[in-house]
Amino acid sequence: AQTVTQSQPEMSVQEAETVTLSCTYDTSESDYYLFWYKQPPSRQMILVIRQEAYKQQNATENRFSVNFQKAAKSFSLKISDSQLGDAAMYFCAYRAGGATNKLIFGTGTLLAVQP
């Protein structure tokens, strides 16, 4: 069975600094997608970034980038130039390719941003 592990329940970063959130996953599939979702106190789930497993290039969205290590089954999120608005719970998620609708989530990392 596929699993997603986030080993950092809480992280803290100074404003304008860089922080990396860790995520590892386990799967025997070759076709899959990986995601990072942000959940602020408003409770809304917001997609931060996604990575297709077949793409070797790491995804980047403005200040957010990933380090996708397929062989190691690792998918970390780097937030550069951290801002107060980045404070939130971050979830790593996996979905197999094809018609499956099942997103498998990690347990989340609560990120605090210190001014």
Partner 1 sequence: NAGVTQTPKFQVLKTGQSMTLQCAQDMNHEYMSWYRQDPGMGLRLIHYSVGAGITDQGEVPNGYNVSRSTTEDFPLRLLSAAPSQTSVYFCASRRQTEAFFGQGTRLTVV
The single residue among 7, 12, 44, 83 that binds partner 1, judged by CB under 8 A, is 44
* Strand 10-14 relative to strand 19-21, pairing: unpaired
Pick from 68, 88, 108, 113: which binds partner 1 (CB under 8 A)?
A: 108
C-alpha torsion 58→61→62→68, nearest 10: -30
Q: Are 22 and 6 in contact (CB under 8 A)?
A: yes
Characterize the bridge pairing of strands 64-69 and 60-61. antiparallel
Q: Which of 36, 75, 90, 91 binds partner 1 (CB under 8 A)?
A: 91
How far apart are alpha carbons 105 and 91 in whole angstroms? 7
33 near partner 1 (CB under 8 A): yes
Under the binding rule (CB under 8 A), the answer on residue 43 touching partner 1 is yes
With binding defined as CB under 8 A, does residue 103 bind partner 1? yes
Pick from 20, 24, 52, 67: which binds partner 1 (CB under 8 A)? 52
DSSP one-letter code for 15: T
Q: Determine if 101 is a binding residue for partner 1 (CB under 8 A).
A: yes
A 10 A CB-CB count for 76 gives 17
Residues near partner 1 (CB under 8 A): 4, 33, 35, 42-45, 47, 50, 52, 91, 93, 95, 99, 101-103, 105-108
